[in-house]
Amino acid sequence: MIILSKLTDIFEYLAKRHRLLPWLLAYVLLLPLPFVLAGLFNEYLIDLVNRICLFILLAVGLNIVKGFCGQVTVGHIGLYAIGAVTSAVLSLEPGGFGGALGFGWPVWLAIPTAVLVTAFAGLIIGLPSVRLQGAYLALATLGLGESVRIFIAVTPALGSSTGLMMIPAPSVGSFTLDSFTSYYYIVMTAALFGIYFSFSILRSATGRAFQAIREDTTAAAVNGINVIKYKLLAFVFSAVYAGLAGALFAHMPPGYLHHNNFTVIEMVTLLLMVVLGGIGNVWGGVIGAIVVAIAYDQTKDLVFYFMDRPIVIQPLVFGLSMVLLVMFMPRGIGGWIEDFQRNRRFIRRSEERLNGSTRNT
């Protein structure tokens, strides 16, 4: 706790000097991570970190629509799929393997196009939110999200059951970013920018409008907030995050996509990240993404044998932990963070008051 407090002190001091300094420090500290991991453990861990970065993007994006704006969406993974497949298909060479579509676009053009396409898809997934709320909205978005996956699964042009293979990696000049380590710098930068922009939104009139809609939609409308516009905007913002995460996932080594990457189980995992992180708290979502992604990775091959029959228990564990979390830790890790920040504010204010009174005497 004391270490955490000191660390917060350092970051707050830097933030006072210049707003971007803490972000710069975080970036610099994260630069040597793949070499540390490769040195201490193995290459595989870098791949895990890369996937964690993508999950952070997804969780932070989902947090905008679900946490800030209070719209329960379960179709987020469908947007992720749209981003991934769009970017893959655009960048694949024409006449590729297994009848897959290909346009042969440069990767750096395919990614932003995929993000735009996903943003538009986010607008469509958000449309039910104009009329529906809560569980009904969740059902509608679940249907839309899952239909994306099924569409991919039955369309040979988009990979169908074999998946899309040999998706090209991005390159800078003549250097191709096709190793875990080189790709780390792309996804890590994207994740940091994602977190930063999420804060920019939260701390503006846009973020306050989202939160007002979450807290009381009628009051928000009467306060002059165009509820429909801002709801859809929240969906589009989160879709941009999902689209970027998806596109980066497509080009990540080994450059292979399969519709199994976009199942309801993935969606539950993503929801678990946001719920564990504490709905509406950005850093909570980031920590949730890290914890759940590691847990997911470690329990993936967890198989029990019952009367010599293998039983994969991971989906059960994740579903059950979601129920327990909502029951016993409804505010998630974000609740702890908020308590921590409030205590600090309280202590600082009492100190100021104490100092003020001694100066007066």
Nearer to other proteins, 226 or 298 (CB): 226
Closest approach, Cβ 158 to other proteins, in A, equals 31
Cross-strand pairs, 190: none
**Residue 203 binds other proteins, judged by CB under 8 A:** yes
Hey, which bits of 214-321 come out as E strands? Answer: 303-306, 309-312
Query: What's the rounded Cα separation, in Å, for the pair 111 and 183?
Result: 14
Question: Footprint of other proteins on residues 209-228 (CB under 8 A)?
Answer: 209, 211-212, 215-216, 218-227
**Residue 12 binds other proteins, judged by CB under 8 A:** no
Nearer to other proteins, 201 or 329 (CB): 201
**Residue 28 binds other proteins, judged by CB under 8 A:** no
Nearer to other proteins, 79 or 232 (CB): 232
* Window contacting other proteins (CB under 8 A); options: 26-34, 171-179, 204-212, 248-256: 204-212
* 178 neighbors 107 (Cβ within 8 angstroms): no
Nearer to other proteins, 37 or 233 (CB): 233
Nearer to other proteins, 119 or 245 (CB): 119
Of the candidate residues 8, 162, 176, 204, the single one contacting other proteins (CB under 8 A)? 204
Of the candidate residues 85, 88, 233, 252, the single one contacting other proteins (CB under 8 A)? 233
Query: What's the rounded Cα separation, in Å, for the pair 78 and 117?
Result: 13
Q: Could you tell me the CA-to-CA distances from 97 to 17, 93, 157, 259, 280 in Å, in that order? A: 54, 9, 10, 16, 43
* 56 neighbors 289 (Cβ within 8 angstroms): yes
Length of the chain in residues, anyone? 361
Q: Count residues contacting other proteins (CB under 8 A)?
A: 29
- Helix ranges (H only) for 127-226 are 134-154, 180-202, 205-215, 217-222
Closest approach, Cβ 233 to other proteins, in A, equals 6
* 82 neighbors 148 (Cβ within 8 angstroms): yes
Closest CA to 115 of 214, 288, 248: 248
Cross-strand pairs, 172: 175
Nearer to other proteins, 62 or 148 (CB): 62
**Residue 201 binds other proteins, judged by CB under 8 A:** yes
Provide the 8-state DSSP code for 306. E
The tokens describing 51, both together, are 């996937």
Q: Could you tell me the CA-to-CA distances from 64 to 71, 153, 206, 304, 326 in Å, in that order? A: 9, 29, 11, 38, 19
* Window contacting other proteins (CB under 8 A); options: 49-57, 58-66, 93-101, 206-214: 206-214
If one counts every other C-beta atom within 10 angstroms of the C-beta of residue 231, the result is 23
Nearer to other proteins, 119 or 186 (CB): 119
Nearer to other proteins, 93 or 216 (CB): 216
Query: What's the rounded Cα separation, in Å, for the pair 79 and 69?
Result: 18
The site string for other proteins over 279-318 (x = CB under 8 A, - otherwise) reads -x--------------------------------------
Nearer to other proteins, 81 or 212 (CB): 212
* 79 neighbors 145 (Cβ within 8 angstroms): yes
Closest approach, Cβ 207 to other proteins, in A, equals 7
**Residue 350 binds other proteins, judged by CB under 8 A:** no
Which stretches of the chain bind other proteins, using CB under 8 A? 197, 200-201, 203-209, 211-212, 215-216, 218-227, 229-230, 233, 280, 345
